[in-house]
Amino acid sequence: MTGTGGGGPTTERPFLQLEGLTKTYGAHRAVDGLSLKVSRGEILALLGPSGSGKTTTLRLLAGFETPDRGRVTVDGEDVTSLPPARRRFGMVFQHYALFPHLDVGENVAFGLAERGGRTGRVAEALAMVDLAGYERRRVTELSGGQQQRVALARSLAPEPRVLLLDEPLSNLDPALRERTRRELREAIARVGITTVLVTHEQEEAFDLGDRVAVLNGGRLEQVATPDELYDRPASAFVAAFVGRANELPGPLLGGKAGARAVVRPEAMRFTAPGPGSLAGRVVARRFASGYAFFTVEGEGVTFEVFAPHDAARVGDAVHVTVDRVLLWKEPA
């Protein structure tokens, strides 16, 4: 699953490398032997539920936490024990952490050396995030989206080696999120900076990340391009986390007793009664732009079918066939 596309790691030496990172808090192992490689200019998204260790990983990268074991290298340089101030990693915080006592321009200039073309660099950085001329504004007067862009400009102004984004869109209302996501992607692409971002939303990770690393309980479940993750998940956890997935008893689909088949709702369809079809009754329907998720009860299980919204009605007795089993879960 490596090197097939989407900017996956190539034969060249990885720019940013995490090797066996482990971090424990008391008895809790927040990050457990995590290894990842990121190429120069690549955007890697860390995706996982809360408590999966993705934020801790980002803080280990930034230098706010020191790992118990493992190394972080950038361009061949070991930065594991380098303090954050000397790491030259830019970071955009979840709540932006803009300094309220400074104006927009002073915020952006914060990381720049005291003299020498500072004004020009600030203007450049603000222009890059479409906020040219905002230097003298107070940060508290800005909208959430603008604050986010100032935070991005501030972190990029000192020309860091790596950009870290902590849940960059979680603080915005949904209407704004999609547009900001696009702007963010364009800004990063323009700079061409190696980026690691943390998110718990699959859509965000897939949209922004060249590759996505799925974390669970401090461990890496799978790292791959979005398409690979969706189509060839390595585990039932990944399958369910990056999309909707039904789990059906194996024997229903010709599998072994005890095994379970993981099936995407769009890999199922309504059909005429026949051999191998599952009988059931539609108990609920949820619209999704022209299509709908139908909740079907039958054969002792409940599952979801994705079909045109008028394919069935609530209460209908239906038959369903499975086109493709995503993966088989063997009995534990």
Q: Which residues bind other proteins (CB under 8 A)?
A: 62-64, 83-91, 93-102, 110-111, 139-140, 147, 154-155, 158, 164, 171
Q: Closest distance between other proteins and the C-beta of residue 319, in Å?
A: 52
Are residues 22 and 69 in contact, defined by beta-carbon separation less than 8 angstroms? yes
Q: Which residue lies nearer to other proteins by CB, 44 or 98?
A: 98
Q: Closest distance between other proteins and the C-beta of residue 185, in Å?
A: 22
Q: Closest distance between other proteins and the C-beta of residue 198, in Å?
A: 14
CB burial readout 92-106, b (16+ within 10 A) else e = bbbebebeeeebbbe
Dist CA 294 CA 209 (whole Å): 31
Q: Closest distance between other proteins and the C-beta of residue 134, in Å?
A: 15
Dist CA 319 CA 270 (whole Å): 6
Q: Closest distance between other proteins and the C-beta of residue 97, in Å?
A: 4
Q: Which residue lies nearer to other proteins by CB, 113 or 284?
A: 113
Q: Which residue lies nearer to other proteins by CB, 138 or 286?
A: 138
Report the residue count for the chain. 332
**Following DSSP, what letter does each residue of 89-107 receive, concatenated?**
EEEE-TT----TTSBHHHH
Q: Which residue lies nearer to other proteins by CB, 27 or 272?
A: 27
Q: Which residue has the tokens 């990983």?
A: 57
Q: Closest distance between other proteins and the C-beta of residue 150, in Å?
A: 10
Residue 29: DSSP 8-state: E
Q: Which residue lies nearer to other proteins by CB, 58 or 238?
A: 58
Count of alpha carbons within 13 angstroms of residue 39, beta-carbon side: 14
Closest CA to 56 of 45, 47, 48, 65: 65
Q: Closest distance between other proteins and the C-beta of residue 50, in Å?
A: 15
Q: Which residue lies nearer to other proteins by CB, 64 or 78?
A: 64
Q: Which residue has the tokens 């024997």?
A: 251
How is the beta sheet containing 301-308 ordered, strand by strand?
Answer: 268-271, 317-322, 278-288, 291-298, 301-308
